[in-house]
Amino acid sequence: SYLLSQPPSVSVAPGQTATITCGGNNIGGRSVHWYQQRPGQAPVLVVYDDGDRPSGVPERFSGSNSGNTATLTISRVEAGDEADYYCQVWAGNTDLVFGGGTKLTVL
């Protein structure tokens, strides 16, 4: 089965840029989607198809995908961005795969 790996935690000061990675074998050949989950809430889609944003998601959120690593970048980080972030890909047939999640801490 296809595996995705994420760093357990990332810390960043307000106003700085946060980078969250998602590693997988030739992940660059797949579409990667990112979800934000604040404590006690359901996940919310923030980036889809590697780098597109749903309506309502700030332009500060962007994504890229190449080789064995996909990246979610959050520019000008705010306190409200503190959350868990999960990457996800379609693993074929009817299977989805999620990364283990990264806790973003805003210092």
Where do contacts with other proteins occur on this chain (CB under 8 A)?
Answer: 1, 31, 33, 35, 37, 41-45, 48, 54, 84, 86, 88, 90, 93-101
Rounded Cα distance, 54 and 78, in Å: 19
Q: For the CB of residue 43, give the shortest distance to other proteins in the complex, in Å.
A: 5
Residue whose CB is less far from other proteins, 26 or 41: 41
Q: For the CB of residue 15, give the shortest distance to other proteins in the complex, in Å.
A: 28
Residue whose CB is less far from other proteins, 24 or 99: 99
Rounded Cα distance, 61 and 52, in Å: 9
> In terms of Cα–Cα distance, which of 84, 79, 12 is closest to 46?
84
Tokens read off for 53: 């944003």
Tokens read off for 40: 């006690």
Residue whose CB is less far from other proteins, 36 or 62: 36
